[in-house]
Amino acid sequence: AAPVTAVPHATAAEIIPWLPLETRWPSLSPNPLSLRQYGGFWIPEVMLKSGFAAANSCLEPRPSDVFLSSFPKSGTTWLKALAFATLKRSTHPPSEGNHPLRHCNPHDCIKFLELDLSAGELEALPSPRVVSTHLPYSLLPDNVTKEGSGCRIVYVCRDPKDVLVSFWLFMRRASPSPRVAAQSFTIQEAFELFCQGRCVCGPQWLHVLQYWEASVRRPDSVLFLRYEEMLCEPESHLKKLAEFMSCGFSEEEEEAGVVSAIVELCSLGKLKEMGVNRNGVNIRGTKNEAYFRKGAAGDWSNHMTLEMAQRLDRIVEDALQGTGFTF
């Protein structure tokens, strides 16, 4: 069986061709989307090959490091915006006309560990470093998760049905030139693969479970947030996030409306309106607008049948039985 922790680069490159392969998802780039089953998860080959293996061998964690973790389509973009605006508020108050979030997509403000950053670029980031990742907890570099590293991890989780629908619609919207493959890929095809856990970083429920268990074991190091709860009470969640990142809001700031100003700046409606998010493309060639859609809880019901929902719910319930975690 494949090891459950990240391995040094050379070993990863050697073993990739031997790992189980899934190629049925349409690709958004000229290269096919190849998922490999590694450590119990279906990880894009590109993530296995480059960033994560390299980061594992080179990453020197700093106690002030913050990792923003998520399963794709669970609120990553929102979490990045909130964390960035919160950490940078002394140099960039949310009211600033030229605030970076008004001219940069949140993914350009906080980069992905396994996709966007070379070891040198990571090392060059000023403290406190904030990076994001879609890697499962068990595949994070050991020196990040080990006791005493001081690194903090914020995880955002979302209902798997909304994650699936969001992912399926993202694929159709994100391609620089809409591809026939993505356009004709049906929700039923996506659903079958998702139910088998054969999707980017899937099975989604095991991804969530690992982070939830880590948050129970090490609450000072892992903050577990739920997208649906954040939608209901964004301000209280932002305050919790700030406290966790050691930059809690002062009473004066709260009275001056800084918390609500950050929530407003990072709201879906506001970010969606920014020119960069309407017209821009990120470093991987994905249209920024594809990251902002409806931002609702329960939108799955507009795209999946009740029967599909019940089947997925049952799969998830069975897999989580006895763990103490429920969505």
Residue holding tokens 């070891």?
Answer: 119
Contact 73, 166 (CB under 8 A): yes
Q: Binding mask 41-70 vs ligand A3P (x if CB under 6 A, - otherwise)?
A: -----------------------------x
Which strand (E) or helix (H) includes residue 162? helix 160-174
The nearer residue to ligand A3P, 53 or 230, going by C-beta atoms, is 230
Residues 130-169, one symbol each (x = binds ligand A3P by CB under 6 A, - = not), give --------------------------------x---x--x
Angle subtended at Cα 221 by Cα 146 and Cα 121, rounded to the nearest 5 degrees:
70
Q: Does 72 bind ligand A3P (CB under 6 A)?
A: yes
DSSP state for residue 195 in the 8-state scheme: H
Q: Is the dihedral of CA 109, 114, 118, 121 positive or negative?
A: positive
DSSP at 224: E
Please tell me whether residue 260 binds ligand A3P under the rule CB under 6 A.
Answer: no
Neighbours of 198 (CB within 10 A): 17
Nearest distance from residue 178's CB to ligand A3P, in Å? 17
Burial per residue of 208-223, b for 16 or more beta-carbon CB atoms within 10 angstroms, e otherwise: bbbbbbbbeeeeebbb
124/40 Cα distance (integer angstroms)? 32
**Shortest separation between residue 189's beta carbon and ligand A3P, angstroms:** 18
Q: How far is CA 120 from CA 126, 130, 318, in A?
A: 12, 15, 43
Footprint of ligand A3P on 76-95 (CB under 6 A):
76-78, 81
Shorter beta-carbon distance to ligand A3P: residue 10 or 283: 283
Instruction: Supply 132's token pair.
Output: 């994001």
Taking the C-alpha atoms of residue 60 and residue 300, their distance in angstroms, rounded to an integer, is 41
Residue 125 CB, nearest distance to ligand A3P (Å)?
21
Could you confirm whether 237 is annotated as catalytic? Answer: no
Q: Closer to ligand A3P at the Cβ: 119 or 261? A: 261
* Least CB distance to ligand A3P at residue 298 (A): 10
Stretch that binds ligand A3P, among 125-133, 197-205, 248-256, 267-275 (CB under 6 A): 267-275
Instruction: Kindly name the residue from 134, 207, 237, 303 that is annotated as catalytic.
Output: 134
Structure tokens at 214: 């880590």
Question: Which DSSP letter does residue 74 get?
Answer: S
Binding range to ligand A3P, per CB under 6 A, among 74-82, 90-98, 143-151, 318-326: 74-82
Contact 179, 33 (CB under 8 A): no
Structure tokens that stand for 167 in this block: 């992912």
Considering only CA atoms, which of 299, 300, 304, 33 is closest in space to residue 187?
304
Any contact of residue 295 with ligand A3P (CB under 6 A)? yes
By the rule CB under 6 A, 221 interacts with ligand A3P:
no
286 binds ligand A3P (CB under 6 A): no
Q: How many residues bind ligand A3P (CB under 6 A)?
A: 22
Contact status: 248 vs ligand A3P (CB under 6 A): no
73 is a contact residue toward ligand A3P (CB under 6 A)? yes
110 vs 271, beta carbon nearer ligand A3P: 271
294: contact with ligand A3P by CB under 6 A:
yes
Contact between 16 and 44 (Cβ < 8 Å): no
Query: Which residues bind to ligand A3P, rule: CB under 6 A?
Result: 70, 72-78, 81, 162, 166, 169, 266-268, 271, 291-295, 299
Residues carrying an active site annotation: 134
